[in-house]
Structure 1
Amino acid sequence: MASNKKKIFITESFSQAGRVLLGERDDIEMVEFPNMISATDFQTKLREHAPVHGVALGATRFGETELEASGDMRVVTRIGVGFDAVDVPALSRRKVPLMVAGTANSPSVAEQAMFMMLTLAKRASEMDSIVKDNKWPSRLGALPYDLFGKTVLIVGFGRIGTRTAKRCLAMEMNVLIYDPYKPAADIKAAGCEAVADLDAGLPRADFVSIHCPKNPETVGMFNAARLKLLKPTAYLVNTARGGIVDEKALHQALVSKKLAGAGLDVFEQEPPPADNPLLALDNVITAPHVAGVTREAVDRMSEQTARNILSALDGTPIRQNVINQDVLG
């Protein structure tokens, strides 16, 4: 006899907080899968368990083939806010909503951006090694910088960019915003200055912090020509997505002293190959794409993802978390 339960695929990174919400429902069956599962293995697993009605994705790609394998997919969710690994048009063709975790991880990413700016400006690695390597007499040869009074250009004024701006304002920085989709009046109301032309804003910036989505418009946005517009004393921080910054151009700018340093949580290829030349530079700090993956953020994202799934299965998807609004009635 066929089961009336809705089968939900959840990645291993789904936290206990989210599992509890799904587990409270007697009409839900959870099936776990590895976060970094290969496309072939994921498709096989979907076919084995079909029909599958919902999925909570980490880094796994999802598109037409996965929709076909699942049999009866009704909602695709991301335990996060990025969705460049999901074929949104394929979901829309089948009237399947793609849902993201809203603001659940935005404070964490904003904190990481701030941390990277401070780490670079305060030359944290160098200062630490001066003490540990007994180089105390050289401590005044590489003085750190203040964020106070400096100008930061934030690219993207959405969930994360707005929070990053608040933190920069608290550090008494001058905050410029480039976001062609946000009214200048809203940016001004937040205590920031709207920049209509990115190329005009870059020469003014001491720091650039990237918080825009990855899409055809933003891939390669920071190419060699744009990086040349920055001051040689400026720092670039990317906690958004790899590919928005041209890594070869960034490396060239850094080694030629046309840029002071960079903080990268994301890369064009993840994980980056061991011979990625950026990894050999002392003026580059890195993190393994975890800006939005703190203990608290994982709980918040998983809980929101569980609510997203249940709302869609119950016929009332949380509208503000649906990416492909065209599937809504």
Structure 2
Amino acid sequence: MTAATNKKKVFITETLSPSGRALLAVRDDVEMVEFPNMISAPDFNAMLKAHAPVHGVALGATRFGEPELDSSGDMKVVTRIGVGYDAVDVPALSRRKVPLLTAGTANSPSVAEQALFMMLWLAKRAAEMHAMIKDGTWATRLGALPFDLYGKTVLIVGFGRIGTRTAKRCQAMEMQVLVYDPYKTAAEIKAAGCEPVADLDLALPRADFVTIHCPKTPETVGLFDAARIKLMKPTAYLINTARGGLVDETALLDALVSGRIAGAGLDVFEQEPPPVGAALHALPNVIMAPHVAGVTREAVDRMSEQTARNILSVLDGEPIRPNVINHDVL
């Protein structure tokens, strides 16, 4: 058998950084094939079939499941340049004994920073302060005073890689940190210097800020609906840098317009990209970003490098176990 036929073909999205590509490029037994990040399912399947057998894939936003497994012919490993995997059919991969790996802790500092930034932006009334200088309304400044994070209470929903880092940053601001995560023990949360709360609904009225850091699952879709948002204080702010769909945007809009809550920070949306001109976008008490909390310059390099290592670890027969989602295949 020739060296060429021994090569493993790996599909990589165009968003994989040069540093990640370099880790794959030095391997004589790996052939890289690039594909667009937002490629449609039919076009992606056609590419897979044209290049089959394909042995590994590094996904950005592209969906992946049973049809893609069929088209690839001999898939050995599926990876995500990120930590979310709601666009991947995990049960389908498990049925084929194909591991799914994510980028682990690579982007967690970046998302935690974005959550804190949104809290600060809202607390310090950044847009209004900027406008006072730009529009020459300096004299009105004492009628729109900002406030401190110091001494405020933040409720962190989800205490994984990102939630734990967010807690550290909030503690540095001298905030009281409450944590709701039914999959973490009270001892773990207390060990991190935070207060565990067993009932989300009972904790919400205590919080000045609520920041969401849990995965999108059937259990968490619509987690913050109208009834739950209504439990928040009228002076409280809701931050979502996790996944669209965890917050009911219609209910959120109603709460913001009616003054039931003070404001919101959103990096993710039910529909991405959201429709231009949506009513939510015009509100002065909302800060938004286009799903980039975990996509800083540094995070892209960290995630890409980890993605490349994930692929190689499986092809070499030694999967990086902490990054594997479907442990049943190991």
* TM tier relative to shorter chain: over 0.9
Q: How does 1:64-83 map to 2 (within 5 A)?
A: 64-83=66-85
Secondary structure of 1:74 counterpart: strand
Match of 1:237 among 236, 239, 252: 239
Matched with 1:174 is 176
Is 1:33 aligned with 2:40? no
Residue identity opposite 1:12 in structure 2: E
- Could you tell me which runs of 5 or more consecutive residues in structure 1 were left unpaired when the two chains were aligned: none
Secondary structure of 1:231 counterpart: coil
Secondary structure of 2:71 counterpart: helix
Q: Report how far residue 276 of structure 1 moved.
A: 2.1
Secondary structure of 1:81 counterpart: coil
- Could you tell me which runs of 5 or more consecutive residues in structure 2 were left unpaired when the two chains were aligned: none
Residue identity opposite 1:58 in structure 2: G
Secondary structure of 1:292 counterpart: coil
Distance 1:27 1:57 in 2: 20
Distance 1:243 1:275 in 2: 19
What per-residue deviation string (whole Å, max 9, x for no partner) do you get for residues 263-316 of structure 1?
A: 000000000001322111111110000000000000000000000000001111
Is 1:90 aligned with 2:107? no
What per-residue deviation string (whole Å, max 9, x for no partner) do you get for residues 47-73 of structure 1?
A: 111110000000100000000011110
Moved more, 269-278 or 176-185: 269-278
Distance 1:208 1:108 in 2: 18
Q: How does 1:107-118 map to 2 (within 5 A)?
A: 107-118=109-120
Q: Report how far residue 40 of structure 1 moved.
A: 1.0
Matched with 1:102 is 104
Matched with 2:306 is 304
Distance 2:280 2:243 in 1: 16
Matched with 1:211 is 213
Distance 2:230 2:206 in 1: 12
Distance 1:197 1:263 in 2: 23
Distance 2:128 2:53 in 1: 55
Residue identity opposite 2:294 in structure 1: G
What per-residue deviation string (whole Å, max 9, x for no partner) do you get for residues 71-117 of structure 1?
A: 11000000000000000000000000000000000000000000000
Distance 1:96 1:277 in 2: 43
Q: Report how far residue 34 of structure 1 moved.
A: 0.6
Is 1:259 aligned with 2:261? yes
Matched with 1:21 is 23
Distance 1:6 1:250 in 2: 48
Q: TM-score of the superposition, structure 2-length normalised?
A: 0.98
Secondary structure of 2:252 counterpart: helix
Secondary structure of 1:311 counterpart: helix
Secondary structure of 1:3 counterpart: helix
What per-residue deviation string (whole Å, max 9, x for no partner) do you get for residues 5-40 of structure 1?
A: 100000011001110100110000000111111111
Identity, % of aligned pairs?
Answer: 79
Match of 2:47 among 42, 45, 48: 45
Computed over aligned residues only, the root mean square deviation of the Cα atoms, in angstroms, reads 0.8
Distance 1:300 1:142 in 2: 40
Q: TM-score of the superposition, structure 1-length normalised?
A: 0.99
Residue identity opposite 2:149 in structure 1: L
Residue identity opposite 1:108 in structure 2: S
What per-residue deviation string (whole Å, max 9, x for no partner) do you get for residues 220-272 of structure 1?
A: 00000000000000000000000000000000000000010000000000000
Secondary structure of 2:5 counterpart: coil
Q: How does 1:142-291 map to 2 (within 5 A)?
A: 142-291=144-293
Secondary structure of 2:6 counterpart: coil
Q: Which runs of 4+ in 1 moved over 6 A?
A: none
Distance 1:120 1:74 in 2: 45
Q: How does 1:133-144 map to 2 (within 5 A)?
A: 133-144=135-146
What per-residue deviation string (whole Å, max 9, x for no partner) do you get for residues 124-156 of structure 1?
A: 011001101111111111111100000000000
Distance 1:117 1:43 in 2: 42
Distance 1:104 1:119 in 2: 25
Q: Report how far residue 3 of structure 1 moved.
A: 2.1
Q: Provide the aligned length of Structure 1 versus Structure 2.
A: 328
